Amino acid sequence: MLEDTRTIVSTCWLNDHLNGPDIRVVDGSWYLPDAGRDVKAEYAACHIPGAMFFDIDRVADLDSPLPHMAPAPGQFAAQMEKLGIGGTHRVVAYDSAGVFSAARVWWLFRLAGHEAVAVLDGGLKKWIADGFTTAQSNPVNQQCSMPVRQQADLVRTMEQVDRYRKDGDVQIVDARPAARFAGVSPEPRAGLRSGHIPGSLNLPYTKLLNPDGTFKPRNQLKHELVAAGVSLDRPVVTTCGSGVTAAMVNLALEIMGHRDHALYDGSWAEWGAFGPEVAPGES
């Protein structure tokens, strides 16, 4: 079982610390638009006691035409202060899928310079399977101060990724399913070309998980990374459909002790629409 309060914690750990005054829990559940899920209604019906709902589509740059791009530092601080999350709090993020969108929440906190954040291994499904209680009531937390020290080295632009794929100095790792990476399965968002960034590697995010939705142990994570062609001694930029499952690869790298990694926030939502070139070809 992985256990590291910088990256990932178990349901037992969270249950033991749930009532600590410095703990804040957030439900960061999110699904693709075609999934037909109402995550806010699901949160209202069942969540971990004390958890606040972290809306990935609202804790975002609402002026961007791209989905849930990272917000400006001041926007992030204001949103977290409304949730009662401050600079002295230890944050645990979870989602209802297992480990999925919670990794995006983890990355957003890290981007803001808040390192006291971890993902709940197995998420709400494992919490319930392990027999821990759930709630329906919405918690009320006192507003507090959230200082933000934006970590610009954790995010990349399309222009930077275009340069990386040409010079080959930085590995580009795509977390989308293999069929979407290969361009044989359509994108869930309309208007996007099929394929991948030329020169990128494919590591479908599902390969990082056990059947129960928990993260694989470190030796198996290393195997999956290496099998995908990732060199753990070289820098990595992750990508996916819209910057959500890419964060799962960043989380895996962090668990492995790899620190030189960043996330292409626009991901395929941007590259598939505006990118200079796609592989295996235009469609």
Q: What is the mean pLDDT of each run of 10 residues along the chain (283 residues)?
A: 80 96 96 89 96 97 97 96 95 97 98 97 97 90 89 98 95 97 93 95 98 95 97 97 98 95 98 94 50
Is 240 known to be catalytic? yes
**One fold for both 8-150 and 153-274?**
yes
CATH 3.40.250.10 fits 153-274, yes or no: yes
* Distances, alpha carbon 191 to alpha carbons 186, 187, 242, 272, in Å: 10, 9, 14, 8
CATH 3.90.70.10 fits 8-150, yes or no: no
Do residues 177 and 185 lie in contact, with contact meaning Cβ atoms separated by under 8 Å?
yes
* Distances, alpha carbon 123 to alpha carbons 55, 68, 104, 215, 238, in Å: 16, 21, 13, 10, 22
pLDDT value for 283 = 42
Max CA separation in the chain (angstroms) = 54
Q: Domain ranges in the chain?
A: 8-150, 153-274
pLDDT value for 242 = 97
pLDDT value for 4 = 75
Q: Is the dihedral of CA 211, 216, 217, 223 positive or negative?
A: positive
Q: pLDDT tens, 53-102? A: 999 999 999 999 999 999 999 999 999 999 999 999 999 999 999 999 99
Q: pLDDT tens, 135-146? A: 998 887 777 899
Helix (H) or strand (E) holding 77: helix 73-82
